[in-house]
Structure 1
């Protein structure tokens, strides 16, 4: 499970690949589980939001950012538009990104956000080296555990 805390230090966001959508078929959709918590509010949902190939795309995107390289795409979205990411900035060895949750993955509560940083299901994170190590290790494990099926 990848766990991140937003830039206001009030929203905890976790996500993980927890299996194939159809374990007994050759379908390459995987189940993405997300958990969003702020104060007493908690949202948890599992949805077939990513394909197996998307895990490689995510790995490469985060790997580029971890090495202070611009990723091939500043914004990253997938076939299912309920989970997307965007590169915002890199400064002082920290990378700022946003993750937008929409549709089935949008939290069912409004963020307590006096600065309006998290409108529309978008959460902003500042990532350090330790975050990248954890993210890349998790993605690598998921890629190995859920290979493409033919």
Structure 2
């Protein structure tokens, strides 16, 4: 699982691939597990939100950020619109991104911080080189564990 704490240090987000949606099929949909915690609130959901190819896209996106390069797409979204990412800035050796959770992965409680919410949860994170290395390690493990079956 990838675990991140937001820039306000009040929201903890964990996410990881926990299997194929249909283990006995040639389908390439992965089950994405998301856990969001803030104060006493906790939301946990598993949803077929990413395809195997999306894992490679995520790896390349974070790999660019880890090498202080702009990713090919500042905004990264997928077929299922419930999990998306955006590059915000690079400053003082820290990369700032946002992750938006919506639809099936939208937590069922409201932020208790000063976030400006509309329909989706958008959470900002500052990532150090260490964070980026850990994210890439997790993505590489998922890619190896869940190869394309098509």
What's the TM-score, normalizing by structure 2? 0.97
- CA distance 1:67–1:118, shift in 2 (3 Å): farther
The two structures, once aligned, show a CA RMSD in angstroms of 0.9
Partner of 2:102 in structure 1?
A: 102
Return the alpha-carbon distance in structure 1 between the equivalents of residues 24 and 117 of structure 2. 38
For residues 135 and 121 of structure 2, the distance between their equivalents in structure 1, rounded to whole angstroms, comes to: 21
Q: CA deviation at 1:117?
A: 4.9
Shift of 1:130: 1.0
Deviation of residue 113 (structure 1)?
1.5
Aligned partners of 1:129, 1:72: CA distance in 2, in Å? 19
Alignment correspondent of 1:42: 42
**Residues 117 and 124 of structure 1 are in contact (CA less than 8 Å); yes or no, is this contact kept in structure 2?**
no
1:51-81 alpha-carbon deviations (Å, 9 max, x no partner): 0000000000000001110000000000000
- Residues paired across the two proteins, number: 149
Tell me the equivalent position of 1:72: 72
Q: SS where residue 64 of structure 2 aligns?
A: helix
After superposition, give the CA deviation of every residue in 1:94-113 in whole Å (9 maximum; x if it has no partner).
00000000000000000012
Q: Determine helix, strand or coil for the equivalent of 2:7.
A: coil
The secondary structure found in structure 1 opposite 2:27 is coil
Q: Is the 1:100–1:122 contact (alpha carbons within 8 Å) kept by the matching residues of 2?
A: yes
- Unaligned stretches of 5+ in structure 1? none
TM-score by length of 1: 0.97
Alignment partners' CA distance in 1, 2:147 and 2:117: 34
**Separation of aligned partners in 2, 1:111 and 1:133:** 28
Q: Which runs of 5+ in 2 are unaligned?
A: none
